[in-house]
Chains A and B, each alone.
Chain A
Amino acid sequence: MTSIWKGFICFFLGLAWVLPVGGAMAETGIHLVLSEEGAAYQEVSDSFRAGVETRAAVKVWQLADFAPGQMEALTRENNLLVPIGLKATRYVAAHHAGQAAILGLMVPKVSAEQIQWPAKLSRRKIAFVYVDQPVTRPLSLIDAVFPDSTRVGVVVSEENAGLLKQLAAEASRRNLVVNAETVTRDEEVGPALRRILAESDVLLLLPDPITINAANVQNVLLTSYRFRLPVVGFSKGLSKAGAVAVAYSSPAQIGRQGAQLAARWSPDAGVLPPAQYAGEFSIAFNRYVARSLGVTLPDEAETRKRLGAQSE
């Protein structure tokens, strides 16, 4: 008999373990899912939570905390899942049970477009605030910072062929010429870069894991410097590393934008506005490198104003 009681106790303890999730399901609300513990993810989460109205309960999860079945339980209800980063978004997609809306934050557009969602999930329930920038922004930055430059060099992998097309179209509207090379493998980057550098006034780095990554950033920047060409980049890290000018959206800016989108979500309708780039972005200059290259940088505050950028 005692063992039967023990069995019951275990059963109810087990229920108690599961129940908090059940409670959340019943409440329906916003669930932030952080891909990792890093400061950037926390920053998105903080600015998202500061931006959403108090009417919605926001629960914050670390991706690593999910037990099997938990995500399925969450997405079976009319929740809003807000994964931060590609890894969390992927996880949500892989374990989606068909009901919850998804707002992916800080995910690169090209990767977001490749995520497989359940077939029955309405596409109007999926939205993103991308981590990258629309092609207009770096081009406007080039216009503002290097007004005499007309030839923009770009090296991308085949994955970004679409982006390159957009860039070329936008560049031609601005009377800029894009010198582009497409590569398929890491080892092709160096030679392609040198061919491009010889015929360009400025090198534009586009987010592409083959053409620019932590392993080759030193080579890319040193080679450009040897060719005395300024580099325009897409992250604050690149600015510190040696890119003369960068346009980027900070995690806080992405989080704020996410909160605005979430405000237009309701558990009943469940639909979200279309995927978008962060409306807010910042710029950063590397004055040391600019000076060494003989580049005269415009006033940073004025350039920010001109481009509609914000100070971080």
Chain B
Amino acid sequence: MVKWAAALGLAVLTGPAGAAQELSEALFLAELPTVLTASRLAQPIMDAPNAITVLDRPLIEASGYRSLADLFRLVPGVYVGQTKGWAYSVSHTFADEFSRRMQVLVDGRSVYQPTIGGVDWESLPLSVDDIERIEMVRGPNAASFGANATTGVINIITRHPADVAGRMLHVSVGDNGRKESWFRWSGGAEGSSQRVTLGRREDDGLRNQFDDQRSNIFNYRGDFALTGGQALSLQAGYLEGTRGQGSLDDLASQPHEQDVNSYYLQLDYRRSLGDEHELQVKSYFNHLLLEETVPVSVIPPLVPAGSYYQRDLLGERWHGEFQINSQLGPGLRSSTGGYLRRDIVRSEYYWNSPDTLETDSWGVFGHAEWRPHPHWLVNAGAFYEDYPHVGGKWSPRLTLHWQPSSRHAFRAGISKAYRNPVAYETDADTRIRLIGASGTPLFTTTPYILASNTALPEEMVSREIGYLGQFPEHGLTLDVRLFRERYSNYISLDCTGASKSDCSGINPSAPRDFVNTGYAIQKGIETQVKWQATADTQVLANYAFLNIDSRTDEQRYSPPHISGLHLMHRFPGEVDMTLSQYWVSAFEPIGSGPLPAYQRLDARLAKHFKINGLRGLVALTWQNLGKSYYEFDYNVTGTNLFERRGYVHLQLDF
């Protein structure tokens, strides 16, 4: 009965819409709903309490990069290095193998690993073709994103299915055995649209490394507009593959393959609550399982030939959150919300237990953006989180903005951020359970790492001054950030024995432990200049200087100078050219040997074409046209040589 009534109501409602094909004054007089409600609008970069670099779709395409992590080379002050062909370290200060000090979100879903921290970039079931834009907050933003948003936040925003309607085929081949093929279908009607992407990629990795990778990827996103200003978005992704691990020089990890199984599910709901408020609800589940049978070198008489051990690692995250954005008055906006989260990890190798380890946490936050005067803006907010072992912690922030005109914005702010130790740092009990060639257990080693669970969260207090200037008559945008950051309770992995040698060998006499070892003061400047020289020519120049005064075990953990110069030009006949030159000064990544300074020149040449409604693109890209250099040099010196690479790409949209 009720259903029938509803159906009739619908018929009545759609009736006039069908008849509205004739233009009458009604269209001019219509009282339309406020679609872009103030509470829904994104905060403009000028009003943001942080320095933000935006990588938009044209820039992502112009870069020619096919690995997600490579894109961050375009952000001032970010170091990108490969510890293996498939393992990237993306860091904004504190360059280490895991880059645990940055929060990374894909459509608001945290992909930070609850197991060992950081992001396993190549295990994300996501194609660069499906990214609309990336916003990177340079500096702490724990007040908005919670713990682990200490040195930066990366927001990856994927493309709306309606914006990529049609079919796309992308094939690329090149050096290092790189082969990639992607197919995307996207379609739907007004109000509902969906896209499906299927892909496969493989490469042989770096020379002299066992780091080949092969993966099959599936990605789905569906967006549905419901009645009454409600919208629903459903996302899912799956990646399965194998990748090379180990090294001939590593006695405890000889070359072998690692199986990767990664998937996620995400549901987003948003609803207008009148013109002034909007509710957003998000929930997701992440799963990453790495499985590997690690062969061990023969060490007579202890370790016979053919011995191995299991080193599997499971990390899962259940997360639910809500947020209410409100326009409280003409110059006052607020954003409040909270989250509940459960992290699940399991690894007999890392935690010496076949059981899962669960960590439940929750947090609430509130922010206000208050404009007491057209030239003045105040951003104030805080995140309160409760995390096991750590207890309740506040991450507050206060920023004052002076905008003497719409072209110039000055900002001064202070904030506090925490990085909570991950399960590996709190509960590690890492041992090798050695199994003989016949499958019979041989012995279990003494622990290599035994976490005493005493490490306090790392703490960052940041003071920064920023300037954002727009000079439209010259096509120029200038972004400057000056900062002083005090990073304390730095967690490092130290030997608990009398000397470092106590912690070495196959059965160390003392384990290593995660402990707070001091503080570092970072001072620096970051600048980014965007210059639209002509309608067809764009120049992007980045420079970052970092001064480190470290009272930790690590002294030179980030390059003091990182620069980038990018030239993008469109020639007649729809031919695009990009030249990107990078300069990175010498430094010593955490957990690595010293890395010499290097330069790198990347280039891309692309030709767009159209044939009978089919749009296409042929592109040639080169990475490191100059001489070879060393990427993030992990443990074994001299292996991560980055040589010149060339790729050919073909993309068809139909």
Contact = CB atoms under 8 A, between A and B. Distances in A.
Interface of A: 35, 38, 40, 85-87, 106-108, 110-111, 131-132, 147-148, 150, 159, 186-187, 189-191, 194, 207-210, 212-219, 221-223, 225-227, 234-235, 237-238, 240-242, 248, 251, 286, 288-289, 291-294, 296-297
Given A186-B190, A226-B163, A292 B44 contact: yes
A159 B23 CA distance: 10
B36 A288 contact: yes
B160 A226 contact: yes
A292 B43 contact: yes
Given A111-B23, A208-B23, A240-B34, A235 B165 contact: no
- Most A CB within 10 A of own CB, among B44, B45, B189: B44
Contacts of B535: 150
Interface string B175-196: 0000000000000011100000
B34 A213 contact: no
B22 interface: yes
B21 interface: yes
Contacts of B42: 292
Nearest to B472: A148
Given A190-B162, A219-B191, A222-B35, A214 B23 contact: no
A210 B32 contact: no
Given A131-B25, A213-B17, A235 B30 contact: yes
A40 B29 contact: yes
A265 to B, nearest CB: 22
Given A190-B162, A242-B34, A294-B45, A210 B22 contact: no
A85 B25 contact: yes
A292 B37 CA distance: 11
B225 interface: yes
B332 to A, nearest CB: 12
Nearest to A210: B21
Contact of B22 (A209, A216, A217, A235): A209
A225 B44 CA distance: 12
Contacts of B189: 187
Given A292-B43, A292-B44, A294-B44, A241 B32 contact: yes
Nearest to A220: B35
B46 interface: yes
Contact of B32 (A132, A187, A237): A237
A289 B28 contact: no
Contacts of A240: 31-32, 34
- Most B CB within 10 A of own CB, among A111, A131, A210: A131
- Most A CB within 10 A of own CB, among B17, B23, B38, B132: B23
Interface string B234-249: 0000000000000000
19 contacts: A40-B25, A107-B24, A108-B25, A111-B24, A187-B190, A207-B27, A207-B28, A209-B20, A209-B21, A213-B20, A218-B33, A221-B36, A223-B162, A227-B163, A235-B28, A241-B34, A241-B36, A292-B44, A296-B406
Given A87-B24, A108-B23, A223-B162, A291 B30 contact: no
A238 B20 contact: no
Given A187-B189, A240-B34, A85 B24 contact: yes
B572 to A, nearest CB: 16
A235 B27 contact: yes
B44 A108 contact: no
Contacts of A286: 36
Nearest to B532: A148
A302 to B, nearest CB: 14
A227 B163 CA distance: 9
B407 interface: yes
A166 to B, nearest CB: 16
A225 B162 CA distance: 13
A207 to B, nearest CB: 6
Nearest to A286: B36
B612 to A, nearest CB: 16
A216 B35 contact: no
B47 interface: yes
Contact of A242 (B35, B165, B191): B35
A131 B190 CA distance: 29
Contacts of A150: 535
Q: Is the interface of B mostly helix, strand, loop or mixed?
A: loop
A248 B28 contact: yes
Contact of A296 (B24, B25, B28, B407): B407
B428 to A, nearest CB: 44
Which A-B residue pairs are the 6 nearest by beta carbons?
A: A242-B36, A296-B406, A292-B41, A241-B32, A86-B24, A237-B32
Contacts of A208: 23
A289 B27 CA distance: 22
A99 B620 CA distance: 75
B59 to A, nearest CB: 13
Nearest to B58: A198
Nearest to B163: A194
- Most A CB within 10 A of own CB, among B24, B162, B191, B472: B24
A227 B159 CA distance: 11
Contacts of A85: 24-25
A191 B44 contact: no
Given A226-B163, A292-B43, A221 B35 contact: yes
A221 B165 CA distance: 18
A214 B160 contact: no
Contacts of A131: 25, 28
Interface in B1-60: 17, 20-25, 27-36, 38, 41-47
A217 B26 CA distance: 14
B408 to A, nearest CB: 11
Nearest to A294: B44
Interface in B179-227: 189-191, 225
Given A213-B17, A223-B163, A235 B44 contact: no
A190 B190 contact: yes
A132 B28 CA distance: 8
Contacts of A194: 162-163, 165
A213 B22 CA distance: 11
Contacts of A234: 28
A82 B470 CA distance: 52
Contact of B30 (A108, A214, A223): A214
Nearest to B16: A214
